[in-house]
Structure 1
Amino acid sequence: MTITKTKSIIVEEKNSTLSNLIEQVNQSNQATIITVDDNKQAVLISLEEWKSIQETLYLISIPTVKDDLIEGKNTPWEECLPIDKLDW
């Protein structure tokens, strides 16, 4: 399942618990599970990690990407083009 809508908020209290958690998540690149009453949970990850996950989900949704990756993985090194010969 891909989450397409996101909500953005601004944490105004610099020394708040949430602000500190955001700082820790960005420094450690580790997800943090936040639990509130009645075991309602959410996961806090860095924006960089979020973008990476979204990009991965997008790429694996393209049917030919998987086949292209497998083909590339199975291509002998000698048959690969040098980076300066790539046309992109």
Structure 2
Amino acid sequence: MKKINLKENNPTLSDLIDNINESNQAAMITVDDDKKAVLVSIDEWNSIQETLYLLSIPGVKDDLIEGKNTDWSDCTPLEQVEW
């Protein structure tokens, strides 16, 4: 994670937002050792929120782990799935 000290560098908010979106990485913004924040792109924020939501549903985590551990030969091919 990139660290940006606002006392040492004084980038504009627009520059910070552009940099975050271009690099697709979060940035830790500091004023001093006690005051910190993290800036992420809206796409990353939405992804985090979706992950937290899905993991809050009872059983989803266990289903994902079970699916990950299932052998492909035990799965039904997509073209055979009836919707």
Output the TM-score relative to the length of structure 2: 0.75
**Pairing partner for 1:59 from 49, 54, 61:** 54
Taking structure 1 as reference, are residues 71 and 23 closer, same or farther at Cα in structure 2, changes over 3 Å only? same
Alignment equivalent of 1:46, drawn from 35, 41, 45: 41
1:7-46 equivalences in 2 (<5 Å): 17-36=12-31, 39-46=34-41
Tell me the C-alpha RMSD between the 2 structures: 1.9
Residue from 44, 58, 73 that aligns with 2:68: 73
Larger RCO (CA within 8 A; separation ≥ 6): 2
- Higher percent of residues as helix: 1
Aligned twin of 1:83: 78
Identical residues among aligned pairs (%): 66
Q: Runs of 4+ in structure 1 displaced over 2 angstroms? A: 36-39, 83-88
User: Distance in 1 between the 2:62 and 2:48 partners?
Assistant: 20
Aligned residues: 73
Q: Gaps spanning 5+ residues in structure 2: where?
A: 1-10
Which structure 1 segments of 5+ residues have no match? 1-15
